Amino acid sequence: MSAAAPPSLPPQASYAEMVGLVADPVLERRPGRLWWIAFGVTLLLTLGFAACLAWLFIQGVGIWGVNTPVVWGFAIANFVWWLGIGHAGTLISALLLLTRQGWRASINRFAEAMTLFAATIAGLFPIMHLGRPYRFYWLLPYPNTMELWPQWRSALVWDFAAISTYIIFSILFWYWGLIPDLATMRDRAHSRLARRLYGIFALGWRGSARHWHRHDVLYRAMAALAVPLVVSVHSVVGMDFAASLMPGWQETIFPPYFVVGAMFSGFAMVLTLAVLLRWGLGLQEIITARHFDAMGKIVLAGSVAMGLSYLTEWFNAWYGGAWIERGHLRFLFTGDYAPLYFAMLVCNVLVPQLLWSGRLRRNLVVAFTVSIVVNIGMWLERILIIWNTLSHTHLPAMRHLFHPTFWDWATLGCSIGVFGCLFLCFARLLPAVAMHDLNKQLHGEKEARA
C-alpha cells in the first residue's frame, strides 16, 4: 500500500538537508520574538495554573460549579478531553508504523510529544477533582497497614491503572524513538553543555548496525503493545461512564465511541500543531500537503464515526423505550443545554464534512480552522456527557443545572497554557521531527522512484 502511495517528501532532497531542516532551528537559529511572546504568555498561564491548583487545595472543590446532583464537572470533562488528545500521538506512531504508513515520519515525533504533554495534564485532573486529593494514592494497590486494597469493581481503579500505564508507556516509546536523533543532535551541537546534555540522553548511541537492529526490534515490539493500550485507555475512560446506571451513560457503545472520539480529537490537535510547527520551524519541505491530506481523511473518518455513534445513541434511547432514557433524549434536544448540544453537533459532525473535498483538505487555513472547531466540539461533548446526564437525573426533585465559576474556566484555560508552554519548550530543545525515520522514508521514496 505504501509503495503505491504518492511521495510525501521532495524528490530532490538530500539526507543531510533533511537533518538540517529539522536540527538547525534548534541548534543554529535563535528563538524569534514571536516565540518569546508566546512563551511568555504560556508561562504566565502556567503560573496561573499553579495558582488555580493552590487555591483549589486551600479552599476545596467548592470553588468550582459542582453541586449535589452534578458532582462531576469541568475536572472530569477536561480530563477526558486532554486524554483524548493524548491519543493521537501514540496511535500515529504505533498504528501507522505497523501498517507501514511511511508518511508518519514527518509528524510522529511532535504528535508523540503532544500525547505526552496532554496525557500528563489529563492525569492531573482526576487528582484535582478529588475531595481529598492528598489521598489519591489510595487508588493504588500498595501494601498498607490497613490491609486494604482498592475496590476492584470500580471503573476508577481500572482507569487509574490504565492512565498511569499509558503515560509511562508513552514516555518510554517517545524516548526510545528519540535516542538516535538525540545522538544526531549531540554530534551537531556547538556548545559543550548542549553536547553533554544531548550526549547523556543519547545513552551512547553510535549508530552501529547492532544498535539499529535492536532499536528497530524493540520499537516495533512496543508499537505492537501500544495499539491495544491506546484502545484500552479510552475504552476504560468510557467505562467510567458506561459502568453506571445513569441515563445517557449506561450504553455499551461507550468504549468504542470514546476511542473514536479520542482519535478524532487527537488528530484534530495534531493538525493544529502541524500547521503551527510547519510555519514556526519552517518545515514546509517536510510536512507537506500530502500529510494534511492524509490527516484530513482520518479526521473526516472520525467525524463520520462520531455521527454514527450519536445516531446509535439516539436510536437506542428511543428504541429501548425506558421513560428515563427517552426523557434524557428529549432533554438533549430541548433541555437547558440544547444550544450547546447543537453547537457540538455542528462542530463534530457538520463542519468536518468540508474535508470531503481534497482541495480543502490541503488548504492549511481550512485544515487549521476545522481542527480548532473539532477540538471545541469535542470539549463540548465531554462536558455535555456530564451535564446532560447529571443535571437531568431520575428524580425531578433533584434536577439542578451546573453553573461554571471563574475557577472552572481559569483551570481549563490555564491547562491549555501549560500545554502550550511545554510544547514551545519541546520545539526549542528537541528535534520536532524524527530525523532518522524521515530519512528512512526518503530512502524508500528514492528507491521506489529508481
Partner 1 sequence: MSGAALSRRQAALGLLAAAMSGSLVACSEPEEEILPYVNQPEGLIPGVPQRYATALPLNGYGRGVVCTAFEGRPVKIEGNALHPASLGATDAFAEAELMQLYDPDRLRSPRRDGRPASWEVFLAELLPRLDPARGGEGLRLLTGPLTSPTLLRLIGALRERFPRMGWHTHAPIDEENARRGAELAFGRPLDLLPVLDRAEVVLCLDADPLGPGPDQIRHGRGFAAQRQARAGAARFGRLYALEPAISLTGANADHHLLARPEEFRDLAAWLAAELGAPLPRPELPEDRRRILRAVAADLAAHAGAALVLAGEALAPELHALAHWLNARLAAPVEAVAPVQGAAAPLRELVAAMRAGQVETLLILGANPAYDAPADLGFAEALRQVPFAACHGLHLDETAAACRWALPAPHALEEWGDLRARDGSAAIVQPLIRPLYGTRSAPALLGLLLGQLDLSAHEAVRATWRGDRTPEEFEAWWRRAVHDGLVPESAAPRLALPVPRLPELPPAPRQEGMVLLLRPDASTWDGSFANNAWLQECPQPLTRQVWGHAARLAPEEAARHGLTAGQVVRLEIDGRSLEVTTLLDPGVAPGVVALTLGHGRSRAGALGTGLGADAYRLRRSDALWVLPGLRLAPTGRHEPPILAQQEQQLEGEARDLLPLVTLDAALRDHEPSPQHRIDQPSLYPDFRYDAQAWAMVIDTTLCIGCNACVIACQAENNIPVIGPEEVARGRDMHWLRIDTYVQEAGGTLRPGFQPVPCMHCEQAPCEPVCPVAASVHDHEGLNVQVYNRCIGTRFCQSNCPYKVRRFNFYGYADGQEYGNRGAPVVAAQHNPEVTVRARGVMEKCTYCVQRISAARRQAEKEDRPIGPEEVVTACQAACPTRAIRFGDLSRPESDPARLRREPHHYALLGELGTRPRTTYLQRVRNPNPALEGGGA
**Do the beta carbons of residue 411 and residue 419 sit within 8 Å?**
no
Nearer to partner 1, 378 or 390 (CB): 390
Nearer to partner 1, 153 or 190 (CB): 153
144 binds partner 1 (CB under 8 A): no
235 binds partner 1 (CB under 8 A): no
One residue of 27, 246, 305, 366 binding partner 1 per CB under 8 A: 246
Q: Which stretch binds partner 1 (CB under 8 A): 131-139, 221-229, 297-305, 369-377?
A: 131-139
Q: Which stretch binds partner 1 (CB under 8 A): 59-67, 77-85, 293-301, 431-439?
A: 59-67
Q: CB of residue 413 vs partner 1: minimum separation in angstroms?
A: 21
Q: CB of residue 381 vs partner 1: minimum separation in angstroms?
A: 18
CA distances from 199 to 193, 202, 211, 359 (A): 9, 5, 16, 44
For residue 193, the one-letter residue type is L
Helices 108-129 & 155-188 angle (0-180, nearest 10): 140
For residue 316, the one-letter residue type is N
CA-based radius of gyration for the chain: 23
Give the integer Cα–Cα distance in Å for 85 and 298. Answer: 14
Give the integer Cα–Cα distance in Å for 101 and 295. Answer: 12
Q: Who contacts 288 (Cβ-Cβ below 8 Å, separation ≥6)?
A: 8, 9, 10, 106
Which residue in this structure is represented by grid cell 486532554? 82
Nearer to partner 1, 61 or 113 (CB): 61
The length of the chain in residues reads 450
What nine digits make up the cell of 178?
528519540
Binding mask 364-403 for partner 1 (x = CB under 8 A): --------------------------x--xxxxxxxxx-x
Binding mask 62-81 for partner 1 (x = CB under 8 A): x--xxxxxxxx---------
Nearer to partner 1, 40 or 60 (CB): 60
One residue of 29, 100, 135, 214 binding partner 1 per CB under 8 A: 135
Nearer to partner 1, 7 or 150 (CB): 150
The footprint of partner 1 on this chain (CB under 8 A) covers a number of residues equal to 50
Give the largest CA-CA distance in the chain.
74
E-only strand ranges, 204-296: none
Closest CA to 19 of 445, 447, 431, 444: 431
Q: Which stretch binds partner 1 (CB under 8 A): 38-46, 60-68, 254-262, 372-380?
A: 60-68
Nearer to partner 1, 211 or 400 (CB): 400
Q: Which of the 8 DSSP states describes residue 287? A: S
Binding site for partner 1 (CB under 8 A): 59-62, 65-72, 126, 129-133, 135-136, 138-139, 148, 150-151, 153-157, 160, 240, 243-246, 322-323, 327, 390, 393-401, 403
